[in-house]
Amino acid sequence: MRLLVTGLTGKVGASFLPAFRADERFAGWQVRAICNNRVVDDPDVEVVRASIADAGAMRSAMEGVTHVLHLASVKETPQLAMDVGVKGMFNLLEAFRQSGTPRQFMLISGDCTVGHIMHPYQEPITELSPLRPYPGSYALTKALEEAMLETCRVQYGINTCCLRAPWIMEKDDFRHALSFRAQFGGPPWTDLLSEADVARYAELDAVPLLRDRKGAPLRRNFIHVSDLVSAILAALDNPAAEGQLFNIAMNAPVDYAEIAEHLASTRGVPVVDIATPFHSNWLDNAKARLLLGWRPLVDFVELVERAWTYQRAPDDPRIVWYPG
């Protein structure tokens, strides 16, 4: 078997590769990576240096490939959105279906396609919920990718699988997501607060207790990268995943009041109450738990503890390749 991976140098890809190699089910598989701006430094990975927007390069790269794991994406970078999210996805699908060896094409998508905290839902968000992307090029391209994947499955009968993940956390990401200093993710605090308030809360090392549009503590969906990787491995080459879309999230959304209470009680962190225009939503993962036998291991307490106790080594600088 030969697995073609895009985005192997990113957050998910870097965690996926060692877990993939440690799984006995994939012993003897070969890995080929499409690299453009950053290159995988691994002698056991065959590197193809090309842009996925290059149709000819994708046809060549797909030779002998049985499985595709498409991780590559761009965030709010409109000038690249069409190249990566539309042309790139189309080129990969076209090359895969015509390769002569196609077995499974897996896409990693995001809850931006259903609007995460930007749109209200009166019930849990399931795989049957309609696409409701929020404004912006990232959500647009992810919605188009999901639609293209399903359309290609219907048109040509190829085996596809889509894993839809919320905000992916690793290392100290979650601590920075709650920081008023070096903020990770958005929208910027200055969209909700004055610059003076942001500076004051940063000086206090406070954490936010965000409230949704109704005034209740905001509930937002997250997933630790290790749990997303375990879901990818559970779905890879699994007949139960054929033609399926799965929500891959924690068993319950993170409640900002519970986070604030935990940090205040365990670390004495000051808490500030912040009103937002956002909606509390619940990304339901029951289908993945049922069909794949997958279980997320990182709950909100573990998410906090991992982020607050993580110590960066000198050769492990914090690099944010995109805002959130």
Domain limits, the chain: 2-169+221-251+281-297, 173-219+253-280
| Structure tokens belonging to residue 310 | 């993580």
Using the predicted structure, report yes or no on whether residue 285 has a pLDDT greater than 90. yes
- pLDDT at site 52: 95
State the average pLDDT over residues 135-164: 96
The DSSP code sequence of 70-134 is E----SS-HHHHIIIIIIIHHHHHHHHHTSS---EEEEEEEGGGGTTTTS--SS-B-TTSPP-PP
> What band does 323 get if pLDDT is binned at 50, 70 and 90?
very low
- pLDDT at site 81: 82
- Sign, CA dihedral 231-233-239-244, equals positive
| Structure tokens belonging to residue 316 | 């492990």
Using the predicted structure, report yes or no on whether residue 312 has a pLDDT greater than 60. yes
- Looking at residue 5, the DSSP 8-state letter turns out to be E
- pLDDT at site 76: 61
- The CA distance from 237 to 93, in Å, is 17
- pLDDT at site 322: 54
The CATH class given to the 2-169+221-251+281-297 domain equals alpha beta
The pTM of the full predicted model, rounded to 2 decimals, is 0.96
- pLDDT at site 125: 98
Among 70-84, 190-204, 261-275, the minimum mean pLDDT is found in 70-84
pLDDT tens digits along 104-137: 999 999 999 999 999 999 999 999 999 999 998 8
Q: Could you tell me if 209 and 274 are in contact, meaning their C-beta atoms sit under 8 angstroms apart? A: yes
pLDDT tens digits along 210-243: 999 999 999 999 999 999 999 999 999 999 999 9
State the average pLDDT over residues 96-101: 94
- pLDDT at site 320: 66
State the average pLDDT over residues 246-254: 98
Instruction: Return mean pLDDT, the chain.
Output: 94
Side chain identity, residue 228: L
Using the predicted structure, report yes or no on whether residue 324 has a pLDDT greater than 50. no
**What percentage of the chain carries pLDDT values higher than 70?**
98
- pLDDT at site 321: 57
Q: List Cα–Cα distances, 145 to 55, 66, 152, 229, in angstroms.
A: 16, 20, 10, 20
Name 210's Cβ contacts closer than 8 Å, sequence gap at least 6. Answer: 217, 218, 220, 256, 274, 276, 278
- pLDDT at site 74: 80
